[in-house]
Structure 1
Amino acid sequence: NSVSVSDILRASVCPMQLYLAKSSPADFSEPLRYSVAKQISYHLGDELDAAEIREELKLTIPDCGEEAFRVLDEMLEECRKVTWRQALTYDMQVDSGKYNIHGRVDRVFDDSFSIIKGGKAPTHGVYASDRLQAVCYSICLEEMYGKEFYGRVEYLGSGTIRSVVLSPSDKRVFLTALKEVEKVRRGEVPRPIRGEKCKRCRFAEKCRPLEKPHTLLERLKKK
């Protein structure tokens, strides 16, 4: 089976998270803000009719309530300040035979694509995981159509459009993450990437018992 772009993104954050997610797929539900942004995305470049999108959310979000409508109104207020292009295709399935990966692109145009995000844009550029996602989609689209595609990330939480200019280092990050996914698929137990994100990781309690110290210094610290 080919590797999903979502697995590549998880591995780039922490390979251990991907390893544990494989046995707990239900732990990854769609965030509310993304669900709302995703529904708005089908209307970008056209009239942003709040009443119409509300009705769509009632169908697409289980137990849709006031919080979803509050987020919708907040995003629409920001999105109405921006001129958007209307996509040619939505949710396009893409793949690369060369790298054995596949994914689904939110919005595709004749020469570019857009990735939809429910949060606000960073002060500059795009977030690292969003940049990696753009690398994956660029690789797939260029292989499929034999021409270059440039990417954008659309942060509907702030009504911001950011272009992504890819560099050789971005592609090295992709290759590293892909190798980590392949290791997990072979059943190898990866080393976690420790950092601030550990405090918010839903797998924190499952992760620690699996971690093994690899050096004498690490063993001493464990004592």
Structure 2
Amino acid sequence: MFDACSNKMTEPCYSKNPDNGIAISSIIRAFHCPRQYFFYKDIPSKPAIEYSICKLVSCAEESATEEELWKTLHLIHPEISEDKRNFLRDCLMAMEHAPVRPWTETDIVVRSERAGIHGLLDKYHAQTGEYTLTRCTTAPKNGCWAEDAIRTAALLLCIEEAGAVKTPGMNIEYVRSGIIRYYEPTPKDRRRVLHLIQQVKEIEDGEFPHKPLNPPCSRCRFSDRCAQNAPRRLSFLFKK
């Protein structure tokens, strides 16, 4: 929750039961393709090593060396392969002169009871009330990627519910590019979030979603299971 006088985040903003609701990552998967979410939803997943590297670089002290960060990565991901060290080196070089956003807290689970969603806020700075999203993709030429606009809108829905102080936007760190952009979600972004929440709920209830207008079929591992005119109820999967 926010203290309206100090503009600081206080304890009630944290999720006590983050599994009770829809993860923002699920919304993003459904944004790319609702059918892809349908097939992916029951497959266990874990954070990408590239994300861990970008997050570590983003939160590292200025004096931190590549060797120190590499040792830390081995503690986080004991299975990390040596070839990821080049990715770490590239990120450090990209962020060398970037205006890295300050933070006092990191990896904060936030939620919206009204929207029924929860997600992970990468960085929060108590003194300024500043929020930051850390990404492991390269930056677009202008603004932010569509999925990051949705992430930002969803996170702000959670943050705003915690108190009366409204925050118009947040920073997005594109660590691989060494670029930090500030983005304020539009009403369109918020509408898309609400629509995606409804889509995910319907899929969780057994709906087999329609194929979107521009589906990512060419790079989808489930393309062979995704028929153009498939029935809309989950029960068809169990018919003999």
Specify the alignment match of 1:212 in structure 2.
230
Equivalence for 2:172: 153
**C-alpha separation in 1, matches of 2:56 and 2:220:** 27
Q: 1:107·1:113 contact (CA, 8 Å) conserved in 2?
A: yes
AA partner of residue 73 (structure 1): R
Provide the rounded CA distance (Å) in 1 between the counterparts of 2:67 and 2:102.
20
Mapped partners of 1:60, 1:194: distance in 2: 39
State how 1:133-152 maps to structure 2 within 5 Å: 133-149=151-167, 150-152=169-171
Cα distance in 1 between the residues matched to 2:215 and 2:26: 21
Deviation at 1:207, TM superposition (A): 2.1
Quick check: which one's helix share is greater?
1
Specify the SS of the correspondent of 1:126: coil
Q: Does 1:7 align with 2:23?
A: no
In 1, Cα distance between equivalents of 2:81 and 2:205:
42
Letter in 2 for 1:89: E
Greater Cα offset, 123-132 or 57-66: 57-66
Task: Report SS of the residue matched to 1:9.
Answer: helix
Higher alpha-carbon deviation: 130-139 or 144-153? 144-153
| Equivalent of residue 106 in structure 2, options 84, 90, 95 | 90
Aligned length: 210
Q: Are 1:109 and 2:125 counterparts? A: yes
Amino acid corresponding to residue 207 of structure 1 in structure 2: C
Mark the runs of 5 or more structure 2 residues left unpaired by the alignment.
1-19, 233-240
Runs of 4+ in 1 over 4 A off after TM superposition: none
> Using the alignment, how far apart are the partners of 1:3 and 1:189 within structure 2?
18
- 2:83, 2:90 → 1: CA distance? 11
| 1:100 and 2:116 matched | yes
Q: Note the alpha carbon deviations across 1:107-127, whole angstroms, 9 max, x for none.
A: 112323111111210001100
C-alpha displacement at 1:200, in angstroms? 1.2
Give me the whole-angstrom Cα distance separating, in 1, the residues matched to 2:81 and 2:172.
27
Residue 42 (structure 1) aligned with residue 56 (structure 2): no
Letter in 2 for 1:57: L
1:201 and 1:48, CA in 2 relative to 1: closer, same or farther beyond 3 A? farther
TM-score by length of structure 2 reads: 0.81
Higher alpha-carbon deviation: 87-96 or 34-43: 34-43
Q: For residue 176 of structure 2, give the secondary structure of its aligned residue in structure 1.
A: coil
3-state SS of paired residue (1:66) = coil
Q: Percent identity?
A: 27
Q: Give the whole-Å Cα distance in 2 for the aligned partners of 1:48 and 1:127.
A: 30
Equivalent residue in structure 2 for 1:119, among 137, 145, 148: 137
With normalisation by structure 1, the TM-score equals 0.87
Amino acid at match of 1:200: R
Give the alignment of 1:181-220 within 5 angstroms.
181-195=200-214, 197-208=216-227, 211-212=229-230
Let me know the Cα RMSD of the aligned residues: 1.9
The aligned amino acid for 2:70 is R
* Contact 1:3 1:102 (8 Å CA) reproduced: yes
Deviation larger for 190-199 or 64-73: 190-199
Give the direction of change, closer, same or farther, for the CA distance of 1:100–1:41 in structure 2 (3 Å limit).
same
Q: For structure 1, which runs of at least 5 residues remain unmatched after alignment?
A: 215-223
Instruction: From the superposition, tell whether residues 186 and 64 of structure 1 become closer, same or farther in structure 2 (CA, over 3 Å).
Output: same
